[in-house]
Amino acid sequence: MAGILSRSILSIALLAGALVGISTSLAEAQTADGSGALQISWEVRNRFRLFREERDFLLHTDAGRGRSVLAAEQALELQSDGRGWARNTVNRLCIDLAGHVSEPCSRENVKESYLTPIDHPVVVRLAGPVPVGATCAWSFDDGDGPLVSTFDCAEPVNLRVRYGRTTAATVDVSSGSDGSQRVSTEIAVRDILVAGLGDSVASGEGNPDRPVALADEGFCFRSYLGTAAAQYYRPSRAGYKGGRACEAPDLLPVWQRQSALWFNPACHRSLYSYQTRTALALAVQYPHIAVTYLPLACTGATIAEGLFGSQRARDCPPSKAATCGGTVNGQLAELRDALTAAKRRQPDRKLDLVLLSVGANDIYFSGLVADVIVDTPTERALFRRSGLMASVDDARGALTRDLPQGFAKLREALKPLVGDMSRVIYTSYANPTLAQGGTPCPGGRAGFDIHPSFNAQPQRLAAVSNFVESEFLPQLKALALCQSGILCRNPRADRMTFVDSHQAAFASHGFCARAESDPEFDRQCFSATGDSFDPDIVTSASQPMLCGRSAGEFRAYLPRARWIRDANDSYFAAMTYPQGLPSSMQPNDIHDATWGVLSAVYGGAVHPSAEGHAAMADAALPAAAAVLQLDAAVPDVTSGPISPVPADSR
């Protein structure tokens, strides 16, 4: 057994057997240059630093080998039987459920500063035509003098290299009668700080890290009409032991303990968000970097309330429902505070990349959705009176009048934080209403029959789809790129990096898309005519699904033709209780009519699914890599025979 060198900042150890195979694969990939020469290969271990445990990162390196982010997500969905890869990872992060960064964060039993690491774990090995039985004398020098030790050349080496320094790595390979050879390279880890900003599409709304578990039995909701006949049953939460009839007492704390889980419930931040997947994909694809990711996006955010100012919390951690805070700090202030704290400890620390999607809430997009899907007169009147419904004319006015001013203010606020505005990757939205290569969805109750008042009214749907496609999305592009008359102080310097290549793929995967390859439960239980649930108030109390199957068989994370969550998906995956609403809109109890409506949409209706977010990450990834210049040449590796040295000079 080879020895272990001990220095607090640069320590060397043999890797466990499982890592040998991983390192071997990496070495083979990095030496496929046809030269046949010995080389030193290295990679940063667990280099997506949000993950505390390496097994969670290795899950993605294995799934992502030779695959796009979308293909990797689909493979992981099948591997987890639709339960989702994030359901366990969510408990092993360097950020807690309240959004606080763990400082320090214990990663693989080493306490690290999350925002300002002093060193990084690295795997090093000799690659190429290594002679059998050869001995390797390794030397690593970061400027404080070399650390040396000898190992069998078949063994990989595990070390921590200092942040901000280059470590010279040299190995003398001795193989008996074949002589000796020296191989040298430089190890320099680039730690990239990435911040995610924006609204619900940026946060990952619609995709709880651990979906809600559903029961076979029904749960009663009242209608706004308030009569005994105006009640309906939908699937209940598994584990809820309270009364399920509308006349039963309110047991909210018991109900909350069976909630879906987000890695930040107040903002519905999800590990499935395109921003998280983009940052993670950078770490997966580029083995010589580490990625420090700071997720700040929040569902419901506008530029004024969310980025600049505080906003209401959307949800609460299940175990802390009684003490849930009602507001979330502004994202720009949170980012500014994090950078200030980081620079105090590490003056050269800078923000390398901002991932941004915002603007939809500024033009009342959720109000447009409500206008499309809320169909019954009573509910429409109530939603309009509460300001929760908006017309296309309302949205057009905000798009012309308010959004350009808000965007200009946001641009000026980002400049001192990121410096070069090209480092802001603005990823646009996709039109959620298209299928079959760009045909607008026909409308109807399919996918929206979770609530009796819902019906995607065809004329209103067509009007919103046309507005999004021909007005909203082009205006966002002009705002990001200082085009089409958008005033920027210095158009060339003020342009963001704009991403919209995913929109073409979404044109076949809107909320109405269906395929024979969809999950069996969806095909059997979500009716194409909007008749998924038993309307009988007696029989639906024990079995609300007309298909006769258990609602618990629904799998939020299986591949589907639709990359946009419909209202049925939202309820079955999240069933969110909207605790962040103003007190005037808080439901009286968990059977309340308001709760019935909002539980069907506040978990992410008309938002991208995990597959949709993965497709967005595939679009954002090359833009991010280009801005960061990650495809620049790797450090040179030199090799050659060792000249004989007199014994007394060694």
What pLDDT score does 639 carry?
Answer: 60
pLDDT in tens, 446-481: 999 999 999 999 999 999 999 999 999 999 999 999
Q: With a cut of 70, say whether residue 578 has pLDDT above it.
A: no
| Residue among 617, 608, 600, 522 nearest 564 (CA) | 608
Res 27 pLDDT > 60? no
Q: Rg of the chain's alpha carbons, rounded to an integer?
A: 27
What structural domains and CATH numbers belong to the chain?
12-52+112-188+635-649 (2.60.40), 193-628 (3.40.50.1110)
Give me the pLDDT at residue 191, please: 97
pLDDT digits (tens, 9 = 90+) for 108-162: 999 999 999 999 999 999 999 998 889 999 999 999 989 899 999 999 999 999 9
Q: What is the pLDDT of residue 6?
A: 35
Is the pLDDT higher at 247 or at 35? 247
> To 10 degrees, what angle do helices 593-601 and 365-373 make?
110
| pLDDT value of position 316 | 73
2 pLDDT exceeds 50? no
Q: Which of 110-114, 146-150, 361-365, 630-634 has the lowest mean pLDDT?
A: 630-634
Q: How does pLDDT run across 55-90, given as a tens digit for each residue? A: 999 999 999 999 999 999 999 999 999 999 999 999
Q: Which of 125, 116, 552 is nearest to 346 (CA)?
A: 116
Q: Nearest to residue 295, comparing CAs of 258, 266, 260?
A: 266
Q: What is the pLDDT of residue 322?
A: 45
Distance CA 638, CA 40 (A): 9
What residues does 171 pair with on adjacent strands?
A: 138, 183
CB 458 within 8 A of CB 341: no
Residue 323 vs residue 264, higher pLDDT: 264
Q: Evaluate if residue 13 carries a pLDDT over 70.
A: no
* Average pLDDT of the chain, as a whole number: 89
**pLDDT confidence of residue 635:** 61
Q: Which tokens belong to 616?
A: 């967005």
As a whole number of angstroms, the distance between CA 570 and CA 584 comes to 24
Segment 368-392 mean pLDDT = 90
To the nearest 10°, report the CA torsion of 560, 54, 317, 296. -80
| pLDDT(257) > 90 | no
- pLDDT 10s digits, 479-525: 999 998 777 888 889 999 999 999 999 999 999 999 999 999 999 99
pLDDT band at 551 (very low <50, low <70, confident <90, very high): very high
The band of 227, judged by pLDDT with boundaries at 50, 70 and 90, is low
Per mean pLDDT, which of 9-18, 69-78, 234-243, 580-589 is the most reliable? 69-78
pLDDT value of residue 258: 86
């009364």: which residue's tokens?
243
Average pLDDT on 190-205 reads: 98
- Supply the pLDDT for residue 120: 97
Task: Tell me which of 132-141, 170-179, 278-287, 541-550 is least confident.
Answer: 170-179
pTM of the model: 0.92
d(CA 371, CA 385): 12
